[in-house]
Amino acid sequence: MRYEAFHICKPSTFIESLKAMEGTTLVEMRPTFYAATREGAQKIAKGYGSVTIIPVTLSLSRPFINAPEASRITLDWFYEFFPAYKVLAIAGRFEHFLVNTSRWQELEASHGTALTLTSLYDRSLQDFLTLPLEICAIAEDGAMRNMVSSMGYDGFIYGGSGEAEGEVIYYPLNTAGIRYGSEEAVV
């Protein structure tokens, strides 16, 4: 599916390097996301101190996560794709994000003891799978991008958080289907 979106950018030299990558099919080594609306892109750009945005047309035909209304998913999302032990390994990559949530505090209180990801996994897989994770953390992790790309997925679509709250974010895994327009000043 083709989407119209906006890229938050640095000055012209960065744009020219992006345009030079048009048509490549590599999984991007550096995270790049696109906001669905001009207004959202401008808001994010101001928060990042960027001075320009650029309209793009991009293609995402098989996103690994297609949740434009959600900025988080729970670990049970992965349980649909991977065996439980693999979900535990994925959780380990994002431990800092998972244990610094109100859900983690609730689970420690309900279990009556300090927990680790492994101890929670061993005690209650059901509780373990309710841990929330920001989708942007998954999309920005190089190993995760490479893994989902090798599975045949081409990106992520999710709801923004922080500066991007209320915005739909597109995160393609390759540049082959992206066409860049002309820079626009952030107003």
pLDDT tens digits for range 45-79 = 887 776 788 899 998 999 999 999 999 999 999 98
Query: Residue 180's domain spans which residues?
Result: 2-69+153-185
- Residue 171 confidence (pLDDT): 92
32 and 124 in a single domain? The answer is no
User: Does 142 map to a domain?
Assistant: no
pLDDT tier, 26 (very low <50, low <70, confident <90, very high otherwise): very low
Strand boundaries in the chain, DSSP class E: 2-9, 34-35, 52-59, 63-67, 72-74, 132-134, 155-159, 168-172, 179-180, 184-185
Of 117 and 43, which is predicted with more confidence?
A: 117
Question: Average pLDDT in the 168-173 region?
Answer: 92
Given a cut of 60, whether residue 31 has pLDDT beyond it is no
96 and 39 in a single domain? The answer is no
19 and 61 in a single domain? The answer is yes
Given a cut of 60, whether residue 139 has pLDDT beyond it is yes
C-alpha 171/C-alpha 113 separation (Å) is 38
User: Does 63 map to a domain?
Assistant: yes
59 and 10 in a single domain? The answer is yes
pTM across the whole model: 0.85
User: Does 166 map to a domain?
Assistant: yes
18 and 110 in a single domain? The answer is no
User: Does 15 map to a domain?
Assistant: yes
Phi first, then psi, for residue 172 (nearest 5°) are -75, 150
82 and 126 in a single domain? The answer is yes
**Of 173, 182, 127, 178, residue with least CA distance to 154:** 173
Given a cut of 70, whether residue 178 has pLDDT beyond it is yes
C-alpha 169/C-alpha 156 separation (Å) is 8
60 and 38 in a single domain? The answer is yes
- Residue 184 confidence (pLDDT): 83
User: Does 148 map to a domain?
Assistant: no
Percent of the chain, pLDDT > 70?
87
83 and 61 in a single domain? The answer is no
83 and 65 in a single domain? The answer is no
Question: Average pLDDT in the 158-167 region?
Answer: 89
pLDDT tier, 20 (very low <50, low <70, confident <90, very high otherwise): low
Question: Average pLDDT in the 16-20 region?
Answer: 60
Given a cut of 70, whether residue 16 has pLDDT beyond it is no
User: Does 136 map to a domain?
Assistant: no
User: Does 137 map to a domain?
Assistant: no
pLDDT tier, 17 (very low <50, low <70, confident <90, very high otherwise): low
Q: Total domain count for the chain? A: 2
User: Does 138 map to a domain?
Assistant: no
- Residue 19 confidence (pLDDT): 61
User: For the chain, what is the mean pLDDT?
Assistant: 86
How many angstroms separate the Cα of 163 from the Cα of each of 21, 51, 114? 27, 15, 33
For 55, the 3-state DSSP assignment is strand
52 and 83 in a single domain? The answer is no
- Residue 14 confidence (pLDDT): 55
Given a cut of 80, whether residue 97 has pLDDT beyond it is yes
50 and 89 in a single domain? The answer is no
Question: Average pLDDT in the 140-144 region?
Answer: 91
